[in-house]
Amino acid sequence: MKRLLNLVFVLLIITLENVIAQNKQIEVDTDSTFTALINSPNTKLKVDNLINLFKNASRNKYVDYNIIDSAINIGTSLAYTEGVGRAYQQKGLIARYNYDYYTAIQNHKLALNYLLKTADTLETIKCLNSLGIAYRKVNITDKSFDYYFKAHTLAEKFSIPSQAIALNGIGNLFTDAKKYNIALYFFKKALNLEIASNNKRGMEYDYANIGEAFLFLNKYDSAHYYTDKALELSKNNGKKDTHGPELSLLGKIYQKQEKFRISNLYYNEASVIHKRRGNKRYLSNALVNIGINKIALKQTEQGLISINQGLNIAEEIGSKENALAAYNTLSTYYSRVGKYREALNYYRKASLFKDSIFNEFSQKTLINAQIAYETKDKEKRIEQLATESAVSQQKARQNHKRMIYSLVIGTILLVSFLIILYLFRKNSRLKVENLNKKLQNYMLQLDDNINKNNISYEEKIKPFNLSEREAQVLKLILKGLSNDEIAKQLFVSKNTVKYHSKNIYSKLDVRSRIEAMKKIEIIK
């Protein structure tokens, strides 16, 4: 037995040395190629090669930002807009893979600014989807929806298959909002596109998303069916160790059915794959859930060890859902065994973590506040111009020539400003009407495809103390009608509709139509 253990130990050391040697060789080869490229003449091809070198090295867990920064600097000097855009896109992807979502947003935005000036529609759509993902990760839902929607619209216009990615992103937003039936509508629409283009990787992702949505709806047979299809595609895609997420999802399904032993079989297998691939978010989730299952099976000591292992990883990478699940489980466990001090400690940590999520939401408020500030600043400038014009007119009374001169200049400025203001408002109205029409189209689709709640509209809005007229206006808003259309239908002015809308948003504690739609579950 001792000889066998020694043999296993030796084999582990040899394997570890081989891995270290392989990683070292990747670094040496990458650095050598980078040096050769840097010493070559500056061309667009050189920029492309630097981007590809950075991408391939990153896939092998070696990230050298000097490579991609050199691509950006050389591309900028050559005015190679497309190359600079793709370089910033790669920097954003690496930041996102490292869970640094705000840095990812910054780089993806820089990439988008460059890519919009090119004819590279496919890369632009990828960038828009990346922004949708990053904003979703930091809970800025309206921004995420906006970028996903733009990606979907652009992909649909040019018949590019990546519109399915945007549909999945929108579906995930509704999953986060616990609107699982609406999420299913978008997931299934994405699946139809992937089936039409025979994209097996996309189909795998769609099946998994659909399975998860059915899990949250407690429809376990459907959850099993779609997750099994995703697992089958993942195992047959020719790539090693890509089926970990599907195994974790099956573990979650069995856990929800209180089949804890079977659940751990899947989670244990998944954790091995996640660890091998270095996917810390999935590994953290698997470890926490293994611990939850073991506590349920009265294997308390092992369960606590597993939960704390998962919690340490979750705190390291900032995975809020995994950390929160661990805190709540530990708080419940210690409370049940009478260790109230430990229970209170983890309860407070869970509360603080929820507060941190709220603070992320506050950043969205700050962005909106900034927009409001800029609008207010423009209004101050207008008032300042009016004041200066009044002062000029007063001085002009003492000097006839100065009065005429000031009057002419003031009139030109005022007319120019009114023209600009008119064009700005006209453009804003057109944008709003356009968005309303798009929203109305989506609402019409949802009416045909989504099961409605059994709670009546009147019962749903009762807690908000809306007046009869406000209730009528809200009902039409939820149907996707514009202010003009609502005014015509209710035989009132557009300003009256705006007044009622303002009161509605205040009583519902929302700031937009989309937020009102989330707040009121009955759409019709």
Cα 386 from Cα 396, distance rounded (Å): 15
How far is the CA of 512 from the CAs of 73, 310, 423, 516, in angstroms? 41, 38, 24, 6
Kindly list the structural domains of the chain, giving each domain's residue range(s) and its CATH number in brackets, ordered by start. Answer: 451-524 (1.10.10.10)
Cα 138 from Cα 361, distance rounded (Å): 8
Predicted confidence at residue 329, as pLDDT, reads 85
Cα 73 from Cα 452, distance rounded (Å): 54
Cα 349 from Cα 85, distance rounded (Å): 41
Are 40 and 46 in contact by the 8 Å Cβ rule? The answer is yes
Are 155 and 166 in contact by the 8 Å Cβ rule? The answer is yes
Give the number of other Cβ atoms within 10 Å of residue 437's Cβ: 14
Predicted confidence at residue 68, as pLDDT, reads 93
Predicted confidence at residue 115, as pLDDT, reads 93
Are 281 and 303 in contact by the 8 Å Cβ rule? The answer is no
Low-confidence ranges of the chain (pLDDT < 70): 1-23, 160-161, 241, 353-401, 405, 424, 426-455, 521-524
Digit-coded pLDDT (tens) for 105-150: 999 999 999 999 998 888 999 999 999 999 988 878 888 889 988 9
Are 213 and 184 in contact by the 8 Å Cβ rule? The answer is yes
Cα 448 from Cα 437, distance rounded (Å): 17
Cα 144 from Cα 155, distance rounded (Å): 17
* Burial class of residue 40, CB neighbours in 10 A (0-12, 13-18, 19+): exposed
Predicted confidence at residue 449, as pLDDT, reads 42
Cα 371 from Cα 379, distance rounded (Å): 13
Confirm whether pTM is higher than 0.85. no
H/E element, 17: helix 2-38
Predicted confidence at residue 116, as pLDDT, reads 92
Predicted confidence at residue 435, as pLDDT, reads 55
Digit-coded pLDDT (tens) for 163-213: 888 898 899 888 888 889 999 999 999 999 889 889 888 899 999 999 999
Predicted confidence at residue 437, as pLDDT, reads 61
CA-based R_g, the chain, Å:
29
Cα 479 from Cα 394, distance rounded (Å): 54
Predicted confidence at residue 238, as pLDDT, reads 73
